[in-house]
Amino acid sequence: MMKINLPKIFASACFKPAISFCLSGTLLALSIPAQSQSESMYQQFAPIDMIGSWVSVVTEDWHIRMITPPVGNFDGLPLTERAQEVARNIDLEQIENSGQACQAFGAGRIMREPGRLRISWADGDTLRVDTDAGEQTRLLHFDNIPAPGAPSLQGLSVAQWQYAGGFDPERAVLNPGQTGSRGLIRGPSLEMMGGKLYVETTNLSPGMLRKNGVPYSEEAKLKEYFNTLSEPDGTEWLIVTAVIHDPINLLVDHITSTNFQREVDDSKWNPTPCSLR
């Protein structure tokens, strides 16, 4: 087996950029089989399997997710007076006709839009999330994080794996020849470890919290927690909890939880352009 020496590490339960693994102890050596060296550390030690196709299951807020609510409907949102004024006076037809409907498909809302996700590794440091609704692409960077650049709909997302009970290198040794159902090489103890993905998104351009024009500003910051679970019958779920902070438009943080079910393939993938209808 090949040995990889990791940098000094501290007590915590996450990865941080530049592969400063948050573990307990000092300098460690992990045994990793030679055939897994083509994968990055972030791929090899993913505590959950998000790779594949997922479809949203709308079990709450159906009336504001499956259809566009009327202008001025901002029930349940802790909006400032400024945001309420904007929401009451928005001209959705003008926004649609000017080609700006994708304001409702930015990172602050896109996961709430009914549709499908395709999640893959863009490279060893970056998870890619594609949506068929609005044909958007999100890049979640673990390492080699790019410069922010100009604000954009999807902003700049920085990701960390977080482990249930901390990262235990004794249990995380990858066993040669063990391949998961989607081609991931991982040992049984790593599967048992569990955890989640944590993502922070900044550098956002203004967007909409609802398709009817309820705004979020360029000051908005998004935190997301991606969790998976499996039912006894094998049904797999992806749960995305989002916390959006916007001092201009929100009196307090707005929190949502969105459910996706794994699909066997992407045969139902149906790209559709941004629309406010």
pLDDT at 169: 56
Alpha helix (H) ranges present in the chain?
41-44, 62-65, 81-89, 92-97, 188-193
Task: Show the tokens assigned to 138.
Answer: 């999100």
**Nearest Cα to Cα of residue 228 among 186, 274, 196, 206:** 196
Cβ atoms of 12 and 161 closer than 8 Å:
no
Contacts (Cβ under 8 Å, ≥6 apart) of 6: 19, 21, 23, 27, 28, 29, 30
**Nearest Cα to Cα of residue 30 among 56, 54, 59, 2:** 2
pLDDT at 17: 42
Q: Per residue in 81-128, pLDDT tens?
A: 999 999 999 999 999 999 999 999 999 999 999 999 999 999 999 999
Cβ atoms of 49 and 262 closer than 8 Å:
no
Chain centroid, CA 162 distance in Å: 13
pLDDT at 1: 33
Contacts (Cβ under 8 Å, ≥6 apart) of 164: 13, 47, 193, 194, 195, 196
Show pLDDT as tens, one digit a residue, over the chain (277 residues): 333 333 322 233 343 443 333 433 333 334 444 444 588 999 999 999 999 999 999 988 999 999 999 999 998 999 999 999 999 999 999 999 999 999 999 999 999 999 999 999 999 999 999 999 999 999 999 999 999 999 999 999 999 999 987 776 555 554 444 444 444 434 444 444 589 999 999 999 999 999 999 999 999 999 999 999 999 999 999 999 999 999 999 999 999 999 999 999 999 999 999 999 9
What CA–CA distance (Å, rounded) separates 126 from 228? 19
**Tokens 């049984």 found at:** 188
What CA–CA distance (Å, rounded) separates 80 from 83? 5
pLDDT at 37: 57
Strand ranges (DSSP E) for the chain? Answer: 2-5, 29-32, 52-56, 116-123, 126-131, 136-141, 156-163, 195-202, 207-208, 215-216, 221-230, 236-245, 254-263
Name the phi and psi angles at 236, rounded to 5: -110, 140
What CA–CA distance (Å, rounded) separates 215 from 196? 29
